Structure 1
Amino acid sequence: MRNSANLERIQVPLEEPSHFGLYMLSSSKRPAPPAPAVLFVPGHGGSWKQGINLCAYLAKKDALHYYAADFHASASALHSSVVTSQALFTAKAIERIRKLHSGPLVLLGHSMGGIVALRAIAMGAARPDAVLLVSAPLQPHPLLLEPRFQAVQPVSFSWDLRLVSVSGGPTDPLVPMHTARPRTGVFQPLPGARDVYASFSHVNLLFSRHSLHFLAQLLRGLAKREELKSSPWRQLLNSSTSTPLPAPEAFSSQSMGGEAVPLSRLDQTQLFPRSGGVFSFLLMEEPKPIRRQPESSTRGETFDPADRLNCSEAVLAWEDEKASWRQVEAISMQFPVKACLLQLQPPGEATRVVLTPPA
């Protein structure tokens, strides 16, 4: 039987008109005040409906106020302006939920929704009590198609903000495990999580019974306003995956990924390398349509596993007058499109390289 939930649209005061929406999902069990609240932020091409199953699992015990943002399946992985507009709406949604409920608030971001959630925290006046990121690309990743994405990363994190990042495991071809590891907070791959011990694809973890049970328990624990070290949600995690939190003075207004670059400068056709002095670009090609039954190894995707770009040939075809730019690390990617991510190392004495197009 499919999980279901009652639906109510919540008005979010905005300075400018937006087609985005906020829904409150509820089950037959009414939350007892002051019950915690959860705001689900979907990812690239995602839907608010992806959170219905998790809402049903949360309602099996003490019910929570469950909200979901509706971005109409916007392509947040393809342009930074989409991330910014979604983050602005999410920040306003957090303020609206804070006015409706006095209990704790947990922000839940899936995939690129995790990037949107972190950006909303940096932009908004109201803040959640905790953040749960599910398969979010927190490290440089092929989905970040343009250098502008470096400017939409949050510039700082609060010392009292509890952050947990969960990875689906090695069978997630879209966001590999190492890209979901946060710089601070707790990182938990689902194959090592208590009572899970299984790996999931990028979207399936929002529909599988084992992962939903774990995420529901984790959300209930994060929603309790307790000290970080004594909170019961820590018992669900593998201690070996925890990243020690630095001292409060280690945080500053500077971007944790390097120098923050205003969008206005990026819009002037200037390209900035990623943090660490590495400039990245992508070669992409549309996958060939499948004319036969997909292989079992594809886990249901509609592409041919053998249809890939030859990244080695792409490296050899790259011509540049500067020999120092010949050091290239190629990363092959196929889902959702065939692509090669090439990272070029600039001269060692240069801290930042600015490329301007020819006049």
Structure 2
Amino acid sequence: MKAELRELETATAIGHRMQHPGRVRPMELGDIPAVSSLFSKIFRKRDIEPSGDLRQYLEAVFFGSPLYSPEHGSIVYDDGTIASAILALPMEFSIHGRHTVGKLLCAFMSDGKAGAVGAACLARTMRSARQDMCFSDNSSPVSADHWVAGGGVVLPIQSLEWQRSFRPATSSAIRASRQFPALGSKLVLGVLGAFDRVLRWRRPSVKPTPASGCMTKVIGAGEFLGCARPMMERFSVRPVWSTEEFDWLVAIAGKNQGLGEVHFRQVTADGRAIGVFLFLGRANRTATVLNVLCQPGREFEVTAEMFACLDREGYAQATGAAQPFLMNAISRQRWLTFRHRGYFCMVTRHGDLKDAALRNDLYIGGLASESWSRLLTDF
């Protein structure tokens, strides 16, 4: 009886697939329950009903952008069920003066044999011959190999994350709390804070040295944007950051309360702006720096003043994605380390964009990345 039942189930499944030939199509709002379940199963190893919070977040992020359209959004493989999907977020870039909507790929999901065919079909759509600009800043080694096989490139510097400790004992406990949550309690961090005060007194090099003649001041989103746009013009490839898109990105990044509030700062010298930076910060814990920009030649002053500012504001540590134009200045810091955070990969059918990427003549930055996404830390 059981064998007959299995044969009947197999025949039914085959018949169902014949009635519903598989195809790659844009993700729709009605797919969110299935995609949420797929995300939970693949990335959280939980084959349970996903939370309403996850569904709402997926809708807000992947359908809420002012740039959203079906052709620039996420895609799924539909054969009657959804067992494979790619989550993608549209972002507008200037490429040698022309405006292009690129895609930040945030998650590639496939469930076992049922999703294998779909995953292959989805991967083929990501080949360079078919894409204006697709990129990811958090790819695994296997995924990076697929990107290269599809005609893409891997950018090694942008694949790194820097971390600067201001209060080393507290910073170490915060990092370890990912595996041992008790180490992140207020009690433990309070005790370690006392140890850090002694360490900072005995080892002055722990404290970053501010840039001579520079000051940092708090600014709003509008003033940040007004300073940042001309500072990005040195790059052939850069975000457009229309006011509407920028405000939406800042708002959606601010939903990650685990990383803290959104902050904007301006670095000045002789009364005029020479740099700006944007970060998410949790008091007494971590400042996650998303974007740092400056006038050409002011990299050392701006980064030195940025670290000094974050130290003065009481953060235990600061982290951010490496950028080629800042590497020399960032690397001069004491108590700073680099780690591989995931491969930064890109595919494009445009030769001038690929050439600019290989020459590091592009600026992406943390707002155009997964750094702020709750999909990396929550649910």
Higher strand share: 2
Higher helix share: 2
So what's the TM-score if we normalise by structure 1?
0.25
Larger radius of gyration: 2
